[in-house]
Amino acid sequence: MIVNSNFVVLTTNRSGSEWIISTLNNFQDVSAHGELFLPRPRILNEKWDKDFAYTRFFETRFKNWTIRPFSVFSYLDTLYSMPGKVGFKLMYKQLGLYPEILAYFILHRISVLHLVRRNHLDVMLSYAVKAKIGRAHLLVGQSAPDKLQVELDARNLVRQLTWLQKQQNIARKILTWSRLPHLEVIYEDVARDQNHYFQLIGDFLSINAREQLPKSPLTRIRKGAHKDMISNYDQVKQALAESKFASLIE
């Protein structure tokens, strides 16, 4: 079976995917991009890829050039025709909005790096932090406010965590059904042992990742424990206590 050297990182928001993408982009002969099917124009101010960001589908002539799926196929053909190994970040929701992307991946045997986050509570915490500081990511040298705390919606938390888990499971079924070459990696594992897991990713994507690991231009926003970061920690812990997600809170 011929496996395409081009790739996509399939994931959900607040999964650490920007860190993964920005690190992959720093490998030799790799061009890795952000959310190309996000349906709004880019705002490049203080973004890690502001000097070379690829134009999103929403901003291109392809959007009005012809009918879908041909416009999406033409856009992806142009993207993947660039030299080297080319990849981008695709959210579950965006795949739902543009299902023809899956057909394109199957037709061209695009490799899928399925990035998941084991702790769904951290995803919700990351959403809340982003809303509070007004930034999705921080560049190296920038820092989040001291003693950063956020409040989570304890009443709806179990429902939100259930939905995150369901999205992951649906994505796994789609990848199995499509028989696309894919590798699932867990953000927490990659963050814990970067050298080992980027070597696994590199082997899967045919990238030489066995030399010195390049650094991402991004830095972590959250640095405290759950009890330090969640202002209504006791309410959140109680809300999760009787659910299957009780072990997610520190």
Least confident of 99-103, 109-113, 143-147, 210-214: 143-147
Interval 157-172: pLDDT, tens: 999 999 999 999 999 9
Q: Does residue 45 have a pLDDT over 80?
A: no
Asked if residue 235 belongs to a domain, the reply is no
Q: Does residue 182 have a pLDDT over 80?
A: yes
Q: Taking residues 98-112, what's their average pLDDT? A: 97
Q: How many CB atoms lie within 10 A of CB 28?
A: 11
Least confident of 39-53, 85-99, 143-157: 39-53
Interval 29-42: pLDDT, tens: 999 999 999 988 88
Cα-Cα-Cα-Cα dihedral sign, residues 154, 156, 159, 162: negative
Interval 115-143: pLDDT, tens: 999 999 999 999 888 888 777 776 777 77
Distance CA 246, CA 7 (A): 35
Question: pLDDT tier at 49 (50, 70, 90 boundaries)?
Answer: confident
Asked if residue 145 belongs to a domain, the reply is no
Residue written as tokens 């080319």?
A: 86
Burial class for 45, CB neighbours closer than 10 Å (0-12, 13-18, 19+): exposed
Q: What mean pLDDT is reported for the chain?
A: 90
Asked if residue 114 belongs to a domain, the reply is yes
Q: Taking residues 90-116, what's their average pLDDT? A: 97
- Rounded alpha-carbon distances, angstroms, from residue 111 to 18, 179, 182, 201, 234: 18, 10, 6, 11, 43
Domain that holds residue 95: 7-118+165-221
- Phi, psi (deg, nearest 5) at residue 86: -120, 135
Distance CA 38, CA 236 (A): 31
Asked if residue 51 belongs to a domain, the reply is yes
Asked if residue 143 belongs to a domain, the reply is no
Q: Supply the pLDDT for residue 155.
A: 94
Asked if residue 48 belongs to a domain, the reply is yes
Q: Taking residues 92-96, what's their average pLDDT? A: 96
Distance CA 6, CA 88 (A): 9
SS3 per-residue string spanning 124-166: HHHHHHHHHHCCCCEECCCCCCCCCCECCCCCCHHHHHHHHHH
Q: Does residue 77 have a pLDDT over 70?
A: yes
Asked if residue 139 belongs to a domain, the reply is no
Count up the domains in the chain and report the number: 1
State the Cα angle at 10 between 119 and 99, rounded to 5°.
Answer: 125
What does the CA dihedral 59, 61, 62, 67 come to, rounded to 10 degrees?
110
Residue from 14, 56, 13 nearest 33 by CA? 56
Asked if residue 210 belongs to a domain, the reply is yes
What CATH number corresponds to the domain at position 81?
A: 3.40.50
Q: Taking residues 59-88, what's their average pLDDT? A: 88
Q: Does residue 3 have a pLDDT over 60?
A: no
Q: Taking residues 87-91, what's their average pLDDT? A: 97
Interval 194-243: pLDDT, tens: 999 999 999 999 998 777 788 888 878 777 899 999 999 999 999 999 89
**Model-level pTM?**
0.92
Q: Supply the pLDDT for residue 81.
A: 95
Question: pLDDT tier at 1 (50, 70, 90 boundaries)?
Answer: very low
